[in-house]
Amino acid sequence: MSELVSYQRNGSVGVITIENPPVNALGAGVRKGLVDCLAKGNADAEAAVLVLIGGGRTFPAGADITEFGKPMAEPDLNAVITAYESSGKMVVAAIHGTALGGGLELALGCDYRCASSNANVGLPEVKLGILPGAGGTQRLPRLIGAEAALKMIVSGDMVKASDAHGTGIVDHIVDGELVVGAVAFAQSLIDEGKPRRRISDMTVTAPAELFEGFAKSIARSARGFKAPFACIESVRAAVDMAFDDGMANERRLFVECVGSPESKGQRHMFFAEREAAKIPDVPKDTPTRDIASAGIIGAGTMGGGIAMNFANAGIPVTLLEVNQEALDKGLSIIAKNYANTVKKGRLSQDAMDKRMALISGTQDYADLANADIVIEAVFEGMELKKEIFTKLDEVCKPGAILATNTSTLDVNEIAAVTKRPEDVIGTHFFSPANVMKLLEIVRAEKTAKDVVATTMKLSRTIRKVGVLVGVCDGFVGNRMLHDYFREAQCLVEEGALPQQVDRVLYDWGFAMGPFAVMDLAGIDVGWRIRKEQAATRDKNLPYPSTVADRLAEQGRFGQKTGKGWYLYEEGSRTPKPDPEVEKMILQVSGEKGISRRAISDEEIFKRCMYQLVNAGANILDEGIALRSGDIDVIYIYGYGFPVYRGGPMFHADQIGLKSVYEDVCKFKEAQGAFWKPAPLLKRLADEGKGFSDL
């Protein structure tokens, strides 16, 4: 018997308890302990029924994913579940916390299931690029029906205990202490003469149209992913095959998914996101400041979206604007956004009213005096931001965090106008701020460690993925994006057209191509930044943004004006090629003396992707990003990089940095200074290493 699992009897009920904190992961030691304790329970003549429960804060929350791709120590989870399903005595699973993945599959191997009212269950494997591999796709459909199982398995989302009770996953909700209620429930099953109930003996029927229709319904959202469609195929086998054959099919699909590039990318992201929360010189026990109220300066699209994040988290927020008209407009847009969510059934009217009540407006800086954090979210202009921070320094209370939502500007320069630079930090939200999950947290030279810790914690409170970065032009995401956009425009001047470049990147997996992104973000944004930076630009480097500048000068700002790189019909976001833009491109190419040529899809992909990678290597070398995985997290959550590709730095590792470096050198020879290989890229390529080795 393993010390990770224990057995004791409570009256005539044998209780098997898993003790593998923090989440009772089903590693090798736990699996062995489960089998050993089951044998002990079956051998206990005084035990009429057995209860399986998790110690600590949760029922097993899944398998040990560090074992993926490695030889599985015996017994594997399938063998454990088979043992419980074949137990000589009835087994009742008692669920609290989260029964996820292998944890729920283990519970499905029991005869009955009870749960605490605040428990959650789910099969989230699809989010790691795999499918449930221990009978989840075979037992769950047999228990609750194929359609309900499809929705749960393919989404990977958690289900509340009350809903699980409604579908039949859970047989009984326990109020009060779980172990007491579970023992009583198990005893009642025996007292009432309830039969054994093996899910594998059940059958399920469903028409073929169900699976075909379901696959079509997710075709767009699951584009490029392998696991969701493997899940559908495996659930279909529960209908079409005998249980053992369905299990063999599930195992085949599971092995295929685990070894797939898509799953490797998704698993990399799973770990990278968790690593991003760890700051080497800011330990976990660093004290944090209380954030009970917030102030936002600027009620535009960005400021309003940021305010919604705080209201959604139950934090009162004061929104400041310079005039009443702008303030009223900002508040009305917030109300409209919430109302649309209510209309779609994703928010109740009562919840909307409570959130709106947390948002107040003002034109007076004095009303920010007691805010715990104030975030400036105005136009990207250094002088304006300095003026605002000078005012904040005067009115905000000691200890308040002063944050700037700048996307490119020097946070050190902004902090320097205050008498408390240690309280200043960058919080770069992404638009729309109430939707996008990424938050680049910009640490300035004098930012205090507790301010870093507090802001990282706050990112989780407002349901963002916070990634700490250093100060440079554009930080991590926009600095890399600048090179990516520039290269896309060079390709257009040399012979490609926007629609070809966008198609190549979209087909590879990006949510949008670079020109569609520019139209969405607003061509005027980059244009204004370029004008502001004109005085400090390196005059020895070519300046390829001529076409973008001309578009902006003509008022073609993108989707918001109906014209940009593409044309947009009223009420539509679908880009349509514009002959006028093509004429403009040809004209610029001619003015620059460029002989246009046919450019292959492969060249387009490599030049855009390797600009991201090369810029990322420089960023790592300079210490602007702590880890290559942090860059991957930024690009997936902030820039539409496909999660199943694992991020630009991970993808470069998969290609091999020697190959990437050789191509970068070739592009430098053909294209010039913008393709200077990053020293880190060369060093790792020469050493036969990857970014993950740093």
Which residue of the set 85, 105, 321, 493 is catalytic? 105
Q: Return d(Cα 396, Cα 373) in angstroms, integer.
A: 9
pLDDT score, position 533: 67
Query: What CATH class is the domain 477-693?
Result: mainly alpha
Q: Return d(Cα 140, Cα 85) in angstroms, integer.
A: 14
Q: Return d(Cα 560, Cα 550) in angstroms, integer.
A: 17
pLDDT score, position 68: 64
Backbone angle region of 647, left / alpha / beta, with phi > 0 → left and psi within -120 to 50 → alpha: left
pLDDT score, position 313: 98
Q: Half-sphere exposure of residue 611, counting CA atoms within 13 Å on the CB side?
A: 27
Q: Return d(Cα 359, Cα 171) in angstroms, integer.
A: 42
Q: Return d(Cα 93, Cα 18) in angstroms, integer.
A: 12
Active site residue 105: yes
Which residue of the set 85, 125, 376, 487 is catalytic? 125
Q: Return d(Cα 176, Cα 180) in angstroms, integer.
A: 8
Contact assessment for residue 561 and residue 546, using Cβ atoms and an 8 Å cutoff: no
Question: Tell me, what amino acid is at 267?
Answer: R
Give domain 294-469's CATH number out of 2.20.25.10, 3.40.50.2300, 3.40.50.720, 3.10.20.70. Answer: 3.40.50.720
- Give pLDDT tens digits for 66-116: 776 677 789 999 999 999 999 999 999 999 999 999 999 999 999 999 999
φ/ψ (deg, to 5) at 457: -65, -40
Q: Half-sphere exposure of residue 28, counting CA atoms within 13 Å on the CB side?
A: 8
Q: Output the pTM of the full model.
A: 0.93
User: Torsion over CA of 151, 154, 155 and 156, rounded to 10 degrees?
Assistant: 110
pLDDT score, position 1: 44
Q: Return d(Cα 445, Cα 415) in angstroms, integer.
A: 9
pLDDT score, position 535: 65
Kindly report, as residue ranges, where domains of CATH 1.10.1040.50 are found in the chain: 477-693
- Give pLDDT tens digits for 552-575: 999 999 999 999 999 999 989 999
Q: Is 88 exposed, middle or buried (0-12, 13-18, 19+ CB in 10 A)?
A: exposed
The CATH fold assigned to 5-258 is 2-enoyl-CoA Hydratase; Chain A, domain 1 (3.90.226)
Contact assessment for residue 328 and residue 355, using Cβ atoms and an 8 Å cutoff: no
Non-local (6+) Cβ contacts of 486 within 8 A are 544, 545, 611, 674
Kindly report, as residue ranges, where domains of CATH 3.40.50.720 are found in the chain: 294-469
φ/ψ (deg, to 5) at 120: -135, 145
pLDDT score, position 89: 98
Q: Return d(Cα 115, Cα 97) in angstroms, integer.
A: 9
- Give pLDDT tens digits for 259-307: 999 999 999 999 999 999 999 999 999 999 999 999 999 999 999 999 9
Contact assessment for residue 375 and residue 399, using Cβ atoms and an 8 Å cutoff: no
Kindly report, as residue ranges, where domains of CATH 3.90.226.10 are found in the chain: 5-258
Backbone angle region of 317, left / alpha / beta, with phi > 0 → left and psi within -120 to 50 → alpha: beta
Instruction: Please state, in angstroms and as integers, the Cα–Cα distance from residue 285 to each residue in 457, 622, 624, following that order.
Output: 12, 27, 24
Active site residue 125: yes
With a cut of 50, list the residues of the chain below it in pLDDT.
1
